[in-house]
Structure 1
Amino acid sequence: MKWRGRRTSGNIEDRRGGGMGRPAGIGGIGLLLVVLIGWFFGVDVTPFLGGGGGVVETGAPAGPNSIDDTSEEFVAVVLADTEEVWDEIFTASDLDYT
């Protein structure tokens, strides 16, 4: 299938490099609950409170590159095709596809 140079969809939201949202930690209330539950059941939770290793980043930070741009364009073309097909199907049924 030749996809380059074809119509692309504008319904693409590029969220690369946006992070993961909420942090993975349990927070203050979660920590308090762990300590209280451990105390209630007589479990020593101090080994779990050390914080652990953490993630070590090496190399260059990940970011958009030409491969990602090609993938983004491909996805936009495929999405445009599906929008056209569904628009035809809905139109044949006297419905609106938006």
Structure 2
Amino acid sequence: MRNVFVVLGFIASILAVILAVTPLFKIAYIPSIAALVFGLIAFYFAKQKQLPRKSIQLIFLLTIIALSLSTYKSVFTIAEVGNTEELIQKENESELDALEELEDIEIDQ
């Protein structure tokens, strides 16, 4: 039973680290919490049967790394909105250019 939770903990913690370094870092909290839960359950079984806990410590380490990266990116990432005045001006210019081109076209019937 312990091995199942260790494997699930590893999968969740590795997924959390991968998501934490990508632009999808806000989703990394979900597998991080799952990895913590699986790690705690595996730790309980290991403590009960006096089994080694190194793999469980690695799960916790990977989860802490993922949580810290996600939190860092959440705090220090600034969403910048571009200058919309330039976009509106370019749109108006392209509209005027299109109208001029349409006026220059002669249609023979």
Task: Please say which structure displays the higher CA radius of gyration.
Answer: 2
TM-score, normalisation: structure 1: 0.34
Which has the bigger relative contact order, CA under 8 A and spacing at least 6?
A: 1
TM-score, normalisation: structure 2: 0.31
Greater share of helix: 2
